[in-house]
Chains A and B, each alone.
Chain A
Amino acid sequence: MAGAASAVLAGVVLYVPVPATASRALESPERAAERAEREVPSLGLVWGKVRGWERVGDGWTVLWQPAHGMWLISAWVPDGAAPVAWRVDAASWLPGVRLPRRAAEALLGSGEVVAQARERLGRRDWLVGERRLLGALPAGGDLPSRHTSRRPLLEAVLAGLLLAGAVSRHLVPGVSGRGWRRAVGMTVLLLALTLPQLSALAPGSFEAGARPWVAELSFGTAAVLLLGALVFASQRFPAPGGTVPLGWLPVALAAGFLAGRIEPSGWLAGTAGLSLRLGVWACLAVLGGWLAAFAGDGFREMVRTAAWLRYVGLCALLAAGVLLGGPWLGVTLAVAAAAAVERGWGTWMGVAVVWGWIAGSVWTLARWEAAVRDSLAFLLLGCVLVAITYLVKARPDPASEAADRP
């Protein structure tokens, strides 16, 4: 039955069209940065290193900042041959030159009338339409901004389910799976090792006037706190152990891949620009799946008063994911999958769905050679792991099923 379902899903996955709204990146952020460095005038400024990137519309927004942090240079590099848009953000006290209106008009040189003055402590800025002059420095215009992918209602529901999951695992503890504890610990450790690279995915951390090492330290500290909390949670609220849902894992993997194809998450395209992307994806899949199972446990406990309530709740959750979820579809599906099966299978199902969703999203959005190759490798790795699990026919190990709650 599960095998048949997997085959059908695999067929559907192959033929499902990529939505027209999905912006497929044809080149890597690294290439985009190289192009911007070639095409944008240097402005007489030291650009510094590439600090981060973000997929925005049909292009990459790439960020540079020198080590002293006094300015930020960002460029939006479109996929096609359209010109690169750029912008300079300088610290409020730079560059220290207070140009009179006439000099500002002469410097802009377009015959436009300077519209608005902005007084600052150390300089005077001028705004002309969408263009700006920071003191005496032409600073480009506004760059395209990313459409928000926030789904406040669904995010609130998922956060509530996470809290409910924590409470339910604390108050109704099952037999804890030692393997999942170790897996979460190892995953967090591996992810912590990639932190120096991960700050590139949070370009909002960098600010003009703040040195980049401080921004990276802030990001790293936040990440360490978050990862530490996850390790702590894996000890205090361990995932329940149990048998492996061998038949359902391929279905979950395929369903996740399908969700990634239908509603890819733009943020995951950014992870394809990392050099350690395969490791990061694997860690995200394990942690995401573990968290999805967490929320699934909360859901299960909330609707366990009646069997019909569980079915209605699951349908409602899935419908919300499909209709309202957008890029959160994969996560919602993972929570629903974890809640739909028996408690000991939840984490397996969550990990499989998230694994497939990451592979599907990256496969759909990141279309340059290295990313396509690695997303395929990631998907195949998931299939191989499922196959190995199936062949070994993993049985519950009595040692790993010991009730060893802290």
Chain B
Amino acid sequence: MSRVGYLLGVVLALVAAAAAVALVRGRGVSGEAQAISIARTAFARVLYEPIGEPSATMEGEQGLAWALERAHPGPAGVALARKEGGAVRWRVIFPGGGQAEVTADGVVWSLRRPVPSSPGADLYPSLARSRIEAALELAVPDAAAWRLVRAQSWPEGRHIWQRGWFEGGAGALPSGWRQELQLEMVGSSVVSWQRSVLPLGTDLGVVTGRMAELRLLRRPAILGLGILMIGIFVAAAEAVAYRESTAILRGLAYGLTTALAGTLSSDTLVAAPILGVVLAVVIALMPGWTDLPPTRLRFGPAMGVALAALILGGRSFILGAGGWIPMTAPMPADTSATRLLAESWLPALVEEPLLRGALPALAAPVVGWWGAALLAAPVGALLHPLPSVPLLSSLALELVLQAGLAVVARSSGVGGAVLARGTYEALVRRASFPVGSEWDRMALVGVVLGTVLLLWPRRTE
């Protein structure tokens, strides 16, 4: 490698690393420590002192969060989902009893304390209504904006329980939305409350409708991958029959890695071994697929960073052009750092060898490499699009990503495409996980690898 080429590589590595850090820094859901202290304060208001160090886990309602983003496109919607919208919350559970949900930006969404042994004097139903209304101040700061809709009393055990349903109008939420709150008392002590949000049908309908439509559109993509697997089966039989050269050990290692990533990224374990076997076969067959470009790993991560910047910029462009697309990635079911790593790299490990490896290898004799890449792009574009208005804008953005990955695969081979996709996914998904250096490190694994590969001195190309 020439000195100029090496220097260009160093510059590329530095630029990619700087861009990746800029994409990651400050991203993520904050408020874990704040949620714990707010929960303690709320418990103190209902005269309960929780014992022990609590655990805090992030939870969310995807449809509600995106509906709020639809109502207020851009960062305003994201902020709303993390505050009064209540779509992104921390569940704080104390080991000695008592749990609360606090939104990422510090609103107590729900609270439940253990039933006190001496809850105070039972309230007669005629008095209960006013006491419930008075107790609302413990749950919300703007109690005057809320209205008691219905109250209910019933005897249970040795005490009388009261439950009140409140309506709070739109408040800080978009026009047409409604807040509700349910508060429970036993005797004369408040033991729990639970807030909820009733979205405007139009906002929620657009989002859930688009999500349902994208689920429908994912079916043909899955069918396409199924057809591709039949082709892989036939190619494997051919390789066995003609004793073609195969990379069995490499395939096994890749298959095990894929199965491991699948196991860590999903709550169901059925698909992971199947994916592992299929990918093991694909990688084992690769030496016989001579139509594929050779792998050059070191450019992959930098390309992934560029694609992440392009796609995130594309979302802003759609918003700026009057369309709508959520700024946030889908919420994960579990927010551990391992999950971020596995969820980011699983699509790369599975889809890239299939769409940029097996499909071009099998279809290139008939339609050529670029023809096969054109076949792979729509299949890949239907797999993970976000809901958008118009729907085609999200699909177009996914097509841009797929075209970019095809270019990467043409220049850097399947291995380069895997690294690019993994890096891209990690950077784009980072914002849905909690803030913290642990998650930052996981999101930057691909970039670090790419930097090392680019800085590694080579004597020959």
Contacts and interface: CB of A to CB of B under 8 A. Distances in A.
Interface of A: 69-70, 91-96, 98, 121-122, 163, 166-167, 170-171, 205, 207, 209-211, 214-215, 217-218, 221-222, 225-226, 229, 232, 235-236, 406
16 contacts: A69-B209, A91-B205, A93-B201, A93-B205, A93-B208, A94-B201, A163-B230, A167-B234, A170-B237, A214-B217, A218-B216, A221-B382, A226-B223, A229-B230, A232-B363, A236-B366
The B interface is mostly helix, strand or loop, or mixed, namely: helix
A395 to B, nearest CB: 31
B234 A225 contact: no
A215 B224 CA distance: 17
Given A122-B199, A167-B234, A210 B213 contact: yes
B220 A225 contact: yes
A225 B227 CA distance: 9
Contact of B227 (A95, A209, A210, A229): A229
A331 to B, nearest CB: 18
Interface in B180-220: 198-199, 201, 204-205, 208-209, 212-213, 215-217, 219-220
Given A92-B208, A93-B201, A94-B201, A218 B366 contact: no
A207 B198 contact: no
Contacts of B378: 221
Which of A94, A210, A215 has the most chain B CB atoms inside 10 A of its CB?
A: A210
Given A96-B201, A170-B238, A218 B220 contact: yes
Contacts of B391: 214
B241 A232 contact: no
Contact of B230 (A96, A121, A166): A166
Contacts of B201: 93-96, 122
Given A121-B63, A226-B223, A217 B217 contact: yes
Given A207-B212, A215-B216, A171 B238 contact: yes
A225 B223 contact: yes
Which of A170, A207, A225 has the most chain B CB atoms inside 10 A of its CB?
A: A225
Nearest first, the 6 A-B pairs at minimum CB distance are A222-B220, A221-B220, A214-B213, A218-B216, A167-B237, A210-B212
Given A167-B238, A218-B219, A232-B366, 10 more contacts: A94-B205, A95-B201, A121-B61, A121-B198, A163-B233, A210-B216, A214-B216, A214-B217, A222-B219, A225-B223
Contact of A93 (B199, B213, B217, B379): B199
Contact of B64 (A94, A96, A121): A121
B368 interface: no
Contacts of B320: none
B242 to A, nearest CB: 8
B141 to A, nearest CB: 25
Contacts of A122: 198-199, 201, 204
A214 to B, nearest CB: 4
B365 interface: yes
A69 B205 CA distance: 11
Interface in B401-422: none
Contacts, number: 90
B365 A406 contact: yes
Given A163-B233, A170-B238, A171-B241, A91 B366 contact: no
Contacts of A218: 216-217, 219-220
Which of A92, A218, A236 has the most chain B CB atoms inside 10 A of its CB?
A: A218
A405 to B, nearest CB: 11
Contacts of A94: 201, 205
B238 A121 contact: no
Contacts of A229: 227, 230
Contacts of A92: 208
Contacts of A214: 213, 216-217, 391
Contacts of B209: 69-70, 91, 209-211
B401 to A, nearest CB: 18
A200 to B, nearest CB: 16
B199 A406 contact: no
A91 B234 contact: no
A225 B205 contact: no
Contacts of A207: 212, 216
Contacts of A221: 217, 220, 378, 382
A96 B204 CA distance: 11
B233 to A, nearest CB: 6
Given A210-B216, A214-B391, A222-B223, A121 B199 contact: yes
B381 to A, nearest CB: 11
A69 B212 CA distance: 11
A406 B366 contact: yes
A221 B212 CA distance: 17
Nearest to A205: B216
A210 B205 CA distance: 10
B217 A163 contact: no
Contacts of B233: 163, 166-167
B231 to A, nearest CB: 8
A171 B213 CA distance: 42
Contacts of A211: 209, 213
Interface string B361-375: 001011000000000
A221 B241 CA distance: 34
Given A93-B201, A210-B212, A170 B223 contact: no
Contacts of B223: 222, 225-226
Interface string B294-335: 000000000000000000000000000000000000000000
A239 B219 CA distance: 30
Contacts of A93: 199, 201, 204-205, 208
A209 B212 CA distance: 7
B238 A209 contact: no
A121 B64 CA distance: 8
Contacts of B212: 91, 207, 209-210
B389 to A, nearest CB: 12
A166 B208 contact: no
A176 to B, nearest CB: 15
B208 A226 contact: no
Contact of B234 (A98, A163, A210, A226): A163
Nearest to B367: A232
Contacts of A232: 363, 366
A232 B238 CA distance: 17
A122 B198 CA distance: 6
Interface string B84-121: 00000000000000000000000000000000000000
Given A225-B223, A236-B366, A121 B217 contact: no
Nearest to A69: B209
Contacts of B237: 167, 170-171
Contacts of A163: 230, 233-234
A220 to B, nearest CB: 8
A226 B366 contact: no
A207 B379 CA distance: 22
Nearest to B218: A218
A194 B90 CA distance: 53
Contacts of A96: 201
Contacts of A226: 223, 227
Contacts of B217: 214, 217-218, 221
Given A91-B208, A94-B201, A166 B216 contact: no
Contacts of B205: 70, 91, 93-94, 209
A158 to B, nearest CB: 14
Contacts of A70: 205, 209
Nearest to B242: A171
Nearest to A232: B366
Which of A94, A235, A406 has the most chain B CB atoms inside 10 A of its CB?
A: A94
